A and B are shown apart, each in its own frame.
Chain A
Amino acid sequence: QVQLVESGGGVVQAGKSLRLSCSASGFIFSSHGMHWVRQAPGKGLECLAFISDNGSIKYYGDSVKGRFNIARDNSRKRVYLQINSLTAYDTAVYFCARGGFGLDVWGQGTTVTVSS
């Protein structure tokens, strides 16, 4: 079945970097743009980054430009989110989602907790 599975979250010290991974299955990965979305505890949803199907186009939300980097490996059916210079504001559940009809498939999320 169509599925997205995130990994790579955990407890990380402020100032460090982290790479999240999202593994896709059940659909033609190379035909879809992919997104990362996060949700801080008790807060709403925030779009972070988008990468086109072939990786040539990337967009970032204003709050993460210059600090986050999205990438993909179509041969491995994975999309990545590199997060640099982590702060407490980055503590959140991070979801990957498939772009199609809006965000039509979501992973279960991976939790990032930034400690001081």
Chain B
Amino acid sequence: DIQMTQSPSSLSASVGDRVSITCRASQDIRNGLGWYQQKPGKAPKGLIYAASKLHSGVPSTFGGSGSGTEFTLTISSLQPDDFATYYCLQHNSYPWTFGQGTKVEIK
């Protein structure tokens, strides 16, 4: 199975900050990478698929980049509603696999 290594595991930031989260794949997954936001007690919500495409309704403050083995989720200006845990998911080859998650907390 493809291993996904996500970093950092947590970060503290303020409203308005620019935040980046990285995911590395153990082998080339082309652009088969998605990002998900999860709040406590809720199901995950899709933000990005195919490395850089936004799911419908996702604010443009979220952006994704990368290909091959290294990918980045960037939040250009952190909003109060963005404090949550974020996961990457490789959807290039089965079985799909998640990164370990990054908790974004209020500084």
Contacts and interface: CB of A to CB of B under 8 A. Distances in A.
Contacts of B87: 44-45
Q: Which size class do A's interface residues fall under?
A: 20 to 34
Interface residues of B, number: 23
A61 B1 contact: yes
A45 B38 CA distance: 10
Contacts of A72: none
Q: Is the contact region of chain A dominated by helix, strand, or loop, or is it mixed?
A: strand
B91 interface: yes
B63 interface: no
A46 interface: yes
Contacts of B94: 50, 59
A67 to B, nearest CB: 14
Contacts of A62: 1, 95
Nearest to B91: A102
Given A45-B101, A47-B97, A61-B95, A95 B43 contact: yes
B39 interface: no
Interface of B: 1, 34, 36, 38, 43-46, 49-50, 53, 55, 87, 89, 91, 94-101
